[in-house]
Structure 1
Amino acid sequence: MFSEHHSSVLRKTRSRRRRSKRNQHQSIKSDHRTRINSPAVDRFHEILTDLKRPGSRFASYTINELEPICQQIAIQEMSSSTTTINIGSCPLVCIFCQHFIHEPITLYCGHTFCDQCINDEQLSSTINCPRCPHDIQGQVQSPIVHAREKSYRKNLFLHQLFDRSETLQTICENITSCRKGKKEYSKGNYQQAINIYSQILDKNNHDHLALYNRAKAYAAIKQFNHGLTDATHVVALKPHWTNGYICQGEILFDMNHFTAALRSSLKGLVIDPDNQMGKQTMARHLHAVLHNDDNNTDDKEIMSTMKKEFEQINKTSLVNETIMETMNSMTDTNSLTMCKSIQSSNSCFCLQFNSKKLNSRDFECSICVSLLWIPITTPCGHVFCRECLIRSVDNTQAQCPICKSSLEEFFPMLIRSYVNKTEIISKLIETYFPKEYHERQQLYEQDNIQGVSIPPSLINNTESTIFEIPIFVCVLILPHCACPLHVYEPRYRLMMRRANETETRTFGMCQFDGEIDTFADYGTLLHIRGLIYTPDGRSIVDTIGQRRFRVIERGMKDEYHTARVELIRDHQIEEHEFNDLFQFNRDTYNRVREWFDNLDSHRKTLIRQQVEEYPSCDDLIQGLVDGPSWTWIMLNVLPIEPILQYTALASQSLRIRLQMINDTIDFQLNQQQQQQQQQQSTTIISSNDDDDQ
């Protein structure tokens, strides 16, 4: 009883909603008839009047010279328009053809389009991806141009996924038929092409691609009225698609309605002022208007065209709402869309995507056999986790793990983060498998962040805390000292990538200790200041020493070393010795500076190359965990035995380190005196020999 009552109420509610919307459309329609002279027409006539004013130089321009003028007009109209142009939020829609993505090709920017749209010869040779933010366009090679040059193949993962949906299969069959019609059109078989498009429209009379192509075919056999009807229907279905207005304008142009044609081509160019075909078309229409006087006739044609457009928009809106209501009634109320919004049935395919046939196992990476994380599509059309693909190349060759196609040109772009995650696959996973996505995120963090990420609070903490870090076994590095690294081993490539992606960008470095046959008990945290990847995946890393640590427990992870460590700091300075140590620090600095100033120019140059900039004397203050920074820099520069440097690193006494520096300076000064005495003795002997001769 409850379910029957509920269904009855639902049907009555939908019926009332339909009647309400129908009444609204009727009132809008009648209101529109009284306001057919819209501000848009007035603005259009103002533009024409300005272009055709007496003495205007535009009448002498060629069609090519009018192209930049047309672009400027379109940009001005776009800036003054109050309508927001949405290029399409549904990831399943190809922006170029405004239809479902058929034979999908994924670019390195992560966006996906139809294969024929990508390879369309009418597209500009310098076109950028329309889905990419404008602020990054032009910084690297256009993803579309790159895909053309490198002959990207269709995304096999998405192709197989779409084949599972019966609704999408029907849509793809219509697109395939549409392409057959285009082949017949290109051969000059226009009537055959019209027949193919009509068969598609018999199944779905709102297929804008079939209408668009049939309009062109009608125009080719001079049936302009039929063509104009189809083109106007296209504009109503896709009001933000440039090609629809261009097609409408070309048919009006062939009918010698030049002003009406110019209005249509202008509306198309306003949507995309950089569209090369749009600029050429509008320039040709404008040239005809400037050299023909048909304003009175075309005013009527403009009004007639606007009425047809409004009637088609009105019909299309009602049909779309009916379709959406039907689909919503057939779909679970809790269904999800990747767009996060319900659009018209012609602008979004999310609701037609049968998610019930999907399983999270369908989205597993073939390398790690886990849910895809940051899915990357290769030029050969295969999909992997980003990190899995990089690690595969690290340990083998730059080739696809499945088909063995070369990735020598793709891999440098991937390692330098030019390649973005595949948007559609990522949204599918996040939308339809949120629980599995969250679990995969935790697994990724466990594998790649835990044991690598060091919170800033721990580094700056003065208390004793134990935590885990990755260890780079190489050389002894002291705090505050720069350390350039060339990382080429696969295990350290992985470690460096993980460390570089964390908030603190920090890892530990220890020297190898032959006595215990592993890395030493004391080391230094290094902060990554800069990292550059080479084309083959190696990296040049600029680091600088931070805090010192003591190793508590050693471990391994993915073939590189790890350790549980405890940060160490200098002992607290007692009040009765602070003043003495304060002066000792200054005196030692002055002695080192005097020694440096007396060096020859060659040795000074060598030291400056090591220290970037000669350090100033930072005074001793209470609370410094590692003491004055200049002492570490000079301990790294002075000719001190490595065993003594390691002793200084492990020492928690500033006095011991200052004494080491003083002892080294004493040794250096003694050597300088001995060298001077030897030089003097040599000079005396040589002068005596000269006297004897």
Structure 2
Amino acid sequence: MSLKQYVADTPEERSAFFIGADGDNNVSEAEDGHRELILQKGNALASEDCLKEAIDWFSAAMRYGPVRPEQLSTFVDCILRNFKRKAAGSDASTGRSRDSESGGVDALLDCPSCLCFLDEPVTLACGHSYCRRCLRRRLVLKCKLCGEAVAGKEKVNVTLCGLLEKWFPGELKEWKKLREVDSLCKRKRYREAVSLASEVLHSDPHMTVARLSRCEAYTALGQYRLALEDTEFCCRSSCQAEALFRKATVLQKLGQVDESLQVFLHCLTVNEDFPGAKRHVEKILCDLLSPADENVKVGLRETTQSTLPHLRTKTLVENASVEPQSPVQRRHRHRVCAASAHHTDSQEKRCESPERPGLSRAQSLRMHGSSSMEEGLKRVSSAPQLGDQDKGSLLKRKLSVSDVEAYLVDSGSSKYKKQGWTKGSKHQTAKAKPCRQVPEDLLDPNDLECSLCMRLFYEPVSTPCGHTFCKNCLERCLDHTPQCPLCKESLKEYLAFRKYTVTAVLDTLIKQHLRHEHEERFKTHLEENQELSDLMKNVPVFVCTMAYPTVPCPLHVFEPRYRLMIRRCMDTGTQQFGMCISEPEKGFADYGCMLIIRSVHFLPDGRSVVDTVGGKRFRVLTRGMKDGYNTADIEHLEDNRVVDREVLEKLQDLHDAVYEQAQVWFQNLKIRFHNQILQHFGPMPEREADIQATPNGPAWCWWLLAVLPIDPRHQLSVLSMTSLKDRLVKIQHILTYLQNIPSN
């Protein structure tokens, strides 16, 4: 049967078909293939947001064998999309706005992840800064402001740390204590961690991060009620995603799988990349959909061991009523039950009840009566014991619109409050913190100075080692060596990417609080750029080779001075520089050609391959030097136009004759030279209808001059000519000379 026919049926019909068709001997051999096909159908339905149908197919797949939690990833995405839609509708109906829950605190010095104080700020490659705690705990996998992936290798920003220590010493003192709390938890000294976190909260009850750290310690100590109190306080705070994750983890440890699943999903609606949350949802769903087999339920039983008494009624649900099955399905069920009967009996004999020695767990549980069974049926933690169809129906109900919306409308409250867990008024909600302001009396422009140019930062860029420089200053240093100018740490990888993104926090601080100083610095920067943008005065000159109008000239740039020169040409927007050949007495020749940059390909070690093409010719008026490279004041050269018609006709005849002679010479070259010219310079340009259409004359003349094997001094003399007639005559003489040379 084809896959197309297979996926057209219901999962129950497919199960019956395979069992009946293969027979007893072939069922086990085909189960793996059948499971994969069913999973494909389930994934296809989940991708199309057919949640209820997908539940049926994933449940059917597990009847053929265990399914790994990660195989439910598409299914989880489908559930999450449905959950998010319901969450959005719930927020709209209740008038809630998550964006307003931050309390109006000055976001400039807050971590974009936890929205708390920017303690130990770390600047990422994208230019945004996060607190070190969020990065250490992998709470930020990609930047929440721009979406760029986080490398995780960056160090603390030295400049920002210095500013925060100067401006907010009291707040930093409390955060240092909080770092010690996390250190104690890491060393498994949980009681000391609880004590220190409580001390921090006594001085600042609004520090939700301290409650989350204390929650972590409470959870490790098994004090789940206290842990839940801390998470309830934080669930509407700036750390909502982390608070929800911790709350869901505690509920899972308590065996409250239904509530845990809902809270994990809520966590993912707040932060879809929250580490570990999706894996927990996959594991829970895998347990909920798995068939009633002891081996599959070991993990779930361990999580509910020694918890609330009503959770011990789970095994009673195995015998709950299920929908009628087809004869083939009943035959298959009979085979499975018969094969496992002995195993089940022996398990019950070994698993004696802790309440009544000598009784099996099943016998002990029956003494709780029908009320306990009803309580167990209400919980998703009992769902793994249901029949496959019942479990699917229960899971659909638990993920239904009404249940999810009811949960989201009052996500800050819980059933524990209904049971008398109401906390004091100061613990009921996380109130907004007082607005943090930069102390104007402590503002000093010297604290925001570049250590290279000794001026106020302009476009401050922070390196992975944590130091900050002006963008231009850093690039100039990296032209010479791929190391940090201050700590000498290798920046080869940083240089390879060449992504010098402005540090947003520092740039905003300067623009908002040092406006006058920034305006002066910006004015100086503009003046420097305007000076570099003039294509007649102080034009940068690359002393290297001959260049010609319209002819490509690829360059390999490796010297630091020319790296700087090329970068300035790009930054100013001119994308042009002069090219001259060397002349010992003057430094470079009196005539040259402007090169237009078409593209720059940077190599990992800082070198670059620059693709240029010739532009206007020029004559050097004066020579100069700037930052190691040559400059010149120039004037552009243009061909003298011929106005007389008779003279123009003679010039046209000369042009056509020389063009034909050039074609003959090129075609008669040896195939090796012919191919090399085509590879480097391309084919010879076509004859132009108007020989005076451009200031530089016909393009084929310059192409031919570039490929002719003659001394650069002769080429330079032709480049400097402003008469098309003189140029054609010179080229004609050169071609005649080359054609008269006997070939070897």
TM-score (norm 2): 0.69
Residue aligning to 2:359 = none
1:200 partner SS: helix
> Where does residue 460 of structure 1 map in the other structure?
none
| Partner of residue 400 from structure 1, selected from 453, 467, 484 | 484
The structure having more radius of gyration, on CA atoms, is 2
CA–CA distance in 1 between the matches of 2:427 and 2:548? 73
| 2:178 match | 178
Structure 2 partner of 1:520:
589
Encode CA deviations 1:392-439: one digit per residue, 9 max, x unaligned.
3445x4433333x332524533xx522422222222112212222232
SS in structure 2 at match of 1:56: helix
Cα deviation code 1:289-333 (max 9, x no counterpart): 547785746889986895461699x99999756x56xx5xxxxxx
Secondary structure of the structure 1 residue equivalent to 2:530 = coil
Q: Output the amino acid matched with 2:109.
A: L
Partner of 2:642: 573
Does structure 1 conserve the Cα–Cα contact (< 8 Å) formed by 2:484 and 2:491?
no
Residue 550 in structure 1 maps to residue 619 in structure 2: yes
Q: Deviations over 1:1-56 (max 9, x none)?
A: xxxxxxxxxxxxxxxxxxxxxxxxxxxxxxxxxxxxxxxxxxxxx99866765983
SS of 2:501's partner is coil
Counterpart of 2:79 in structure 1: which amino acid? I
Between 519-528 and 253-262, the greater mean CA deviation after superposition: 253-262
CA contact (8 A) 1:258 1:288 kept: no
Q: 1:221 deviation in Å? A: 4.0
Residues paired across the two proteins, number: 568
Could you give the per-residue CA deviations for residues 158-183 of structure 1, whole angstroms, max 9, x where no partner exists?
A: 111101123xx333333222233333
Q: Contact 1:259 / 1:285 at 8 angstroms: preserved in 2?
A: no
Q: Distance in 2 between matches of 1:618 and 1:518?
A: 37
Following TM superposition, by how much is the alpha carbon of 1:478 offset from its aligned partner in structure 2, in angstroms? 1.5
Structure 2 CA distance for partners of 1:308 and 1:67, relative to 1, 3 Å: closer
Alignment match, 1:195: 195
Q: Report how far residue 236 of structure 1 moved.
A: 0.7
Distance in 1, matches of 2:604 and 2:71, equals 44
SS class of match (1:372): coil
Between stretches 590-599 and 193-202, larger displacement belongs to 193-202
1:405-416 to structure 2, matched below 5 A, reads 405-410=488-493, 412-413=495-496, 416=497
Q: Deviations over 1:603-660 (max 9, x none)?
A: 3123223312332222225441111111111111123343332222111111111112
8 Å Cα contact 2:453/2:473 also seen in 1 = yes
CA distance in 1, matches of 2:76, 2:98: 19
Q: How many Å separate the matches in 1 of 2:491 and 2:283?
A: 45
Aligned pairs for 1:194-213 within 5 A: 194-213=194-213
Cα distance 1:161–1:278, how it changes in 2: closer, same or farther (>3 A)? Answer: same
Q: Can you give the 5+ residue segments of structure 1 that lack an aligned partner in the other structure?
A: 1-45, 328-350, 456-465, 680-693
1:430 and 2:436 aligned? no
Q: Structure 1 residues 106-115 or 423-432, which shifts more?
A: 106-115
Kept after mapping to 1: 8 A contact 2:591/2:720: yes
| CA separation of 1:114 and 1:58: change in aligned 2, threshold 3 A | farther
Q: Identify if the C-alpha distance between structure 1 residues 607 and 47 changes in structure 2 by more than 3 Å, giving closer, same or farther.
A: closer
In structure 2, what is the equivalent of residue 40 of structure 1?
A: none
**1:181–1:306 CA distance, 2 compared to 1 (3 A):** farther
Determine whether 1:659 maps to 2:740: no
1:223 Cα offset (Å)? 3.9
- SS, match of residue 452 in structure 1: helix
Question: Which deviates more, 169-178 or 586-595?
Answer: 169-178
Is residue 584 of structure 1 aligned with residue 654 of structure 2?
A: yes
Distance in 2, Cα, partners of 1:79 & 1:305: 11
Q: 1:307 to 1:116 in 2, by over 3 A?
A: closer
Alpha-carbon spacing, 1:274–1:59, altered in 2? closer, same or farther (3 Å): farther
Query: What's the % identity of the aligned pairs?
Result: 29
Q: CA deviation at 1:68?
A: 4.4
Matched, 1:531 2:531: no
Paired with 1:160 and 1:385, the residues of 2 have a C-alpha distance of: 17
Alpha-carbon distance in 1 for matches of 2:51, 2:668: 82
1:99-118 to 2 correspondence within 5 Å? 99-118=116-135
Alpha carbons of 1:582 and 1:270: their partners in 2 closer, same or farther (altered >3 Å)?
Answer: farther
Matched, 1:669 2:739: yes
- Could you tell me how far apart the structure 1 residues matched to 2:110 and 2:190 are? 28
AA matched with 1:259: D
Looking at structure 1, the residues matched to 245 and 540 of structure 2 have their Cα atoms a distance apart, in angstroms, of: 60
Distance change >3 Å, CA 407–CA 390, structure 1 → 2: farther
Alignment deviations for residues 193-236 of structure 1 (CA, whole Å, 9 cap, x no partner): 33322222222222211222233333344443332232122111
Question: Deviation of residue 273 (structure 1)?
Answer: 3.1
Question: Contact 2:185–2:193 at 8 Å: present in 1 too?
Answer: yes
Single out whichever of 216-225 and 496-505 deviates more from structure 2.
216-225
Aligned positions of 1:606-617 closer than 5 A: 606-617=676-687
Query: Corresponding residue for 1:74?
Result: 80
Q: 1:95 to 1:559 in 2, by over 3 A?
A: same
- Partner of 1:440, secondary structure, is helix
Aligned partner of 1:266 in structure 2 is: 265
Q: 1:573 to 1:196 in 2, by over 3 A?
A: same
Cα distance change, pair 129–54 in 1 and its aligned pair in 2 (3 A): closer
Cα deviation for residue 526 of structure 1 reads: 0.5
CA offset digits 1:641-686 (Å, max 9, x no partner): 43332222111111111112222222223225xx5xxx8xxxxxxx
C-alpha distance in 1 between matches for 2:447 and 2:413? 45
CA distance in 2, matches of 1:301, 1:213: 31
Question: How far apart are residue 70 of structure 1 and its match?
Answer: 1.8
CA contact (8 A) 1:103 1:115 kept: yes
Whichever residue aligns with residue 532 of structure 2, its letter is V
Would the alpha carbon gap of residues 192 and 644 (structure 1) be closer, same or farther in structure 2, given more than 3 Å must change? closer
CA distance in 1: counterparts of 2:228 and 2:73, whole angstroms:
25
Find out whether 1:352 has 2:442 as its counterpart: no
Partner residue of 1:382 out of 441, 444, 467: 467
Note closer, same or farther for the CA distance 1:488–1:409 as it changes in structure 2 (3 Å cut): closer
TM-aligned CA deviation for residue 277 of structure 1: 0.4
Correspondence list, 1:418-497, <5 A:
418-447=499-528, 449-453=529-533, 466-497=536-567
In structure 1, give the amino acid aligned to 2:492: E
3-state SS in 1 of match to 2:718: helix
Aligned to 2:229: 229
Structure 1 residue 77: deviation in Å? 4.0
SS in 1 for 2:127: coil
| 2:71 aligned to which of 47, 65, 68 | 65
Q: Contact 1:452 / 1:507 at 8 angstroms: preserved in 2?
A: no
Q: 1:75 offset after TM fit, Å?
A: 4.2
Q: Counterpart amino acid of 1:207? A: M
1:510 matched to 2:580? The reply is yes
Separation of aligned partners in 2, 1:55 and 1:632:
72
Q: Tell whether the 8 Å contact from 1:451 to 1:470 is kept in structure 2 after alignment.
A: no
Contact 1:506 1:528 in 2 (8 A): yes
Aligned residues: CA RMSD: 3.5
Structure 2: 5+ residue stretches without partners: 1-48, 92-96, 291-313, 318-375, 381-397, 415-422
Structure 1 residue identity aligned to 2:655? N
CA-CA distance at 1:570 after TM superposition: 1.0
Q: Is the 8 A contact 2:120 2:157 kept in 1?
A: yes
Name the amino acid aligned to 2:521.
R
SS in 2 for 1:446: helix
Equivalences for residues 255-294 of structure 1 within 5 A: 255-290=254-289
Q: 2:242 and 2:253 mapped to 1: Cα distance?
A: 16
CA distance in 2, matches of 1:575, 1:320: 90
1:471, distance to aligned residue in structure 2 (A): 1.3
